Structure 1
Amino acid sequence: MSDTPLNRALAQADANLQGSLDRFFDLLRIPSISTDPAYKPQCLAAAEWLVEELSGLGFEASIRPTPGQPMVVAHQIMPTGPHVLFYGHYDVQPVDPLSEWEADPFSPRMVPAPNGDTHIVARGASDDKGQLLTFVEACRAWRAANGGLPMSVSFLLEGEEEAGSKNLGPFLDATQEELRADIVLVCDTDMWDATTPSIALMLRGLCGVEVEIEAASRDLHSGVYGGPSRNPLQVLTTMLAAMRGEDGRVLLDGFYDDVDELPEAIREQWARLPFDGESFLADVGLSVPAGEAGRSIQEQTWSRPTFEINGITGGYSGVGFKTVIPAKASAKVSFRLVGRQDPDKIVQAFRAHVAAHLPGDCKAKVTVHSASRPTIVSSDNPYLEPALAALSEEWQTEAARGANGGSIPVINEFKNRLGMDALLVGFARVDNRVHSPNEKYDLSSFSKGIRSWVRILAALSD
């Protein structure tokens, strides 16, 4: 292997893997749950840990307070090369249900995997602490091997991504000039499969809504009032059932008006890449695709919009039985959006649907909890091809132009507020149990993720 800055940095990353893992475990031990105010001190501790690590790597790093959890901002400006801004988040989801964890969620452990890999199990291992640290450790390897970075690098590490990022927009507005760079790098997505890296070119938008139906002035005895009295649970479920047809299509008026067909070039590449739809469903105990008829599972999860019921509340659901007609019932539902779909337009159509299916003696309240537009990364992005080539070289297979069925609202925030495009490079696997008990990150994701970022930094600096 020739003695080049890139090869020296790769060798350094390999030699220092145990130190990288030690730091990874240190960060995982901090229960930085942003949605629970009781964990605010722990969120601050995670931010302080990151500032200390980045400062030790020569970054000008600091904690920036917000009305919620603090931001971490760091800069290391070099005399040559482009300027990249890396975004990640140090906060994690709550651990409930705790009884389903095989060990303490904040005591990370190494678990041998059947395929010969090793699972690093802890809350936040994949989302997003492992992903975040792959880039930090790549910067560490470059600096240790070559005395500095190959380009200017800034960090923006958020502490309330899992709580809705409500303070991110105002913070970006206040720091536009400081944070503006040539490209944003985001490591919060999946690989195509266990051995094929990818860059996500499409992210679905998200619209989260709660609808509440109210009828009688109090809960009623179903023997005395059953029959003539409106049942909010029945009204609600009938209303929601009318949202989808038997063919899986969403029946909301105008729902597909702004949905574009998948470009043929992307469809052809997806068809060439290994993907077993039956196994994808079988891994979670399912076998029959329930989305739009005539669409592949890839399309259903990545490039088509959806409507899902996420939870229903009403009446009695405790131990035993209680014959009650509830006075109120509510449901939380979500729409994943694609193409040019506008979340405000979808909410308006949903309100109209609720009103059209609301019988007498009932009142309805619709509350919007989240709304973000879909994201499309342009194939003309000048950093896309070098990054794909770097990934292909590291993994020794063609990197995919992929997509992600989830939503990362911050991508549109960077575009709209700072005028910056993003590259979405992630090393998570689809079976990482993100947001679920026993969340894990594969050791190969961590080690090869570090090496991948080392290569991408070299490629972008050229």
Structure 2
Amino acid sequence: MADVESVLNHLDSQLEASLERLFGLLEIPSISTDPAYKNDVKRAAEWLVEDLKSIGFDASVRPTEGHPMVVAHHDGQGPHVLFYGHYDVQPVDPLELWNEDPFKPGIKEIGPDHRVITGRGTSDDKGQLMTFVEACRAYKAVHGKLPCKVTILFEGEEESGSPSLIPFLKAHADELKADFALVCDTSMWDRETPAICVGLRGLVGEEVTVKAANRDLHSGYYGGAAANPIRILAKVLAALHDENGGVTIPGFYEGVEETPTEILRSWEALGEDAESFLGPIGLSELAGERGRSALELVWARPTCEFNGISGGYTGEGFKTVIPAEAYAKVSFRLVHSQDPAKIREAFREFVRERIPADCSVEFSPHGGSPAIQLSYDSPIVTTAQAALTEEWGKPALAIAMGGSIPIVGDFQRLLGMESLLVGFGLADDAIHSPNEKYELTSFHKGQRSWARILAALANR
């Protein structure tokens, strides 16, 4: 503990210097989706390489077909960890809605003893990744070494679909494989309560096209006699859920496990109910499976949702037409060991069975990835929980996330590694939006948290 305490004291004394370094990275407009910023994305990668070299990492910019990766290695005793983050950022549009220049970071007082770091990339993900770098810097300054063997992978295309990531992981699998991965692109429960994400829902997307007549029809001349694809599609979509909110596709719940009772109780203790969860968006009643809480529904249960539906005339005014085609976009969020391929085929069969003989249906896939579920009592989870609890003074929660982080599945599938997801963002950080911010306490205590986690992992 004395070794850790000296590192923590060093981090406290160097907070201002670490902020200056962070500002230097934040000032680089590394917008990966816009070709106009290609040189800036490369400049951010080069900035990170030079910074990592300054603390003893063997670091380099690695070219890809798109934006470069940053890879760095540092020897150490104990387990080998791969730390992942991304240095690219979202566009800043609409610029007029920003209160400050998005690429001129600063510190802003927004309440008593409440300061935040402002600017694009502060929370997603430059501020987050630099918490880990600063923890490594402090270990080197105090002890001249790191408590673990560390490999770092910083991506430059996360905000533009990661087109180069899987080819890069496959090509460099032997170099990047470690005992487990550390991923920082997640959040805390609130400003004072740290959290570890142990579950990420998977995703299956399908676009459905129902076709009937060979042209649009006059609804007076053909109405009541000709098949209407909107009616057919609406009936199919309505049949996908039962009266209790469950999904009716045969085999849909295969691989879905019930969340442990003690975990459900810990979620209930957070005080999040239908009113607090839905109230801010103008709703009040849970729409999913009956008898389950809001957090269980979004963290631990699978879903079938309709993301878009169209057909016929949708312009101004009115046109009495029976359309030849109707379309819907349907997505499934998956949990536990649900198989995306099986879910996709079961959905297609469900639809096919409900299409009249003289009509047809076509499908277009849009993504498919399995859920990620760590054991709630995984040794790396419990070790990190203890370290976070020690730092923040409140029990670190084991939570799940309703969305997906594809890199976690890629690490598991391509490198055979589990991931520990620890981040210090907050729901109100306005990532991807104007006026993005990152709590100063998140940046400071995030550094301290990683220092504790590295020490705990080395000693477990």
* More displaced 10-residue stretch of structure 1: 19-28 or 110-119: 110-119
Q: Does 1:287 align with 2:284?
A: yes
Q: What are the Cα deviations for residues 252-277 of structure 1, in whole angstroms up to 9, with x where unaligned? A: 23211221111223223333445455
2:430 counterpart residue number = 433
Alignment partner of 2:372 out of 372, 375, 387: 375
After superposition, the C-alpha distances for 1:385-431 in whole angstroms (9 at most, x for unaligned) are: 32211100110011122222221222222223222222111112233
Residue 409 of structure 1 aligns with an amino acid whose one-letter code is: P
- Residue 19 (structure 2) aligns with: 21
1:93-172 correspondence runs (5 A): 93-95=90-92, 101-102=98-99, 105-108=102-105, 110-114=107-111, 116-172=113-169
- CA shift for structure 1 position 189: 1.8
Cα RMSD, aligned residues only: 3.1
CA distance in 1, matches of 2:127, 2:8: 18
Further displaced range: 383-392 or 107-116: 107-116
| CA shift in 2, pair 1:333/1:64, >3 Å | farther
Q: Alignment partner of 2:379: what SS? A: coil
Structure 2's unaligned 5+ residue stretches are none
Taking the aligned partners of 2:427 and 2:320, their CA distance within structure 1 comes to 42
1:309 has 2:306 as partner: yes
Deviations 1:178-209 (A, max 9, x none): 11222211112222333211212222112223
Aligned to 1:343: 340
Moved more, 96-105 or 120-129: 96-105
Which shifted more, 418-427 or 437-446?
A: 437-446
- The answer to whether residue 338 in structure 2 is matched with residue 323 in structure 1 is no
Change (3 A) 1:379 1:302: closer
- How far apart are the structure 2 equivalents of 1:357 and 1:36? 43
Paired letter, 1:300: L
Distance 1:24 1:168 in 2: 25
Residue 72 of structure 1 is matched in structure 2 by: 70
* Preserved contact between residue 219 and residue 324 of structure 1 (Cα < 8 Å): no
Identity of aligned residues (%): 55
1:371 shift after superposition: 1.3
Q: Give deviations 1:58-81, integer Å, cap 9, x for gaps.
A: 211112222333221100112x22
TM-score using structure 2 length: 0.87
Q: Secondary structure at the match of 1:383?
A: helix
Output one character per residue of 1:70-124: Cα deviation in whole Å (capped at 9) or x when no partner. Answer: 221100112x222211011223344556665555554545444457523434443
Aligned residue number for residue 271 of structure 1: 268
In the TM superposition, what are the counterparts of 1:343-422 in structure 2 within 5 Å? 343-359=340-356, 362-379=359-376, 381-422=378-419
- Structure 1 SS opposite 2:426: coil
State the one-letter code of the partner of 1:323: K
User: What is the distance in 1 between the residues matched to 2:27 and 2:359?
Assistant: 49
* 1:283 match: secondary structure: helix
State the alpha-carbon separation in 2 of the partners of residues 314 and 433 from structure 1.
35
Cα pair distance change 1:115/1:429, threshold 3 Å: farther
1:256 corresponds to which of 253, 274, 278: 253
1:56 to 34, 38, 54: 54
Q: Which moved more, 1:288-297 or 1:29-38?
A: 29-38
Question: Which shows bigger deviation, 356-365 or 126-135?
Answer: 356-365
Q: TM-score w.r.t. structure 1 length?
A: 0.87
Deviation at 1:449, TM superposition (A): 1.0
In 1: Cα distance, 2:222 partner to 2:107 partner: 58
Give 1:157 shift. 1.4
- Contact in 2 for aligned 1:315/1:324 (Cα 8 Å): no
Q: Number of residues paired by the alignment?
A: 458
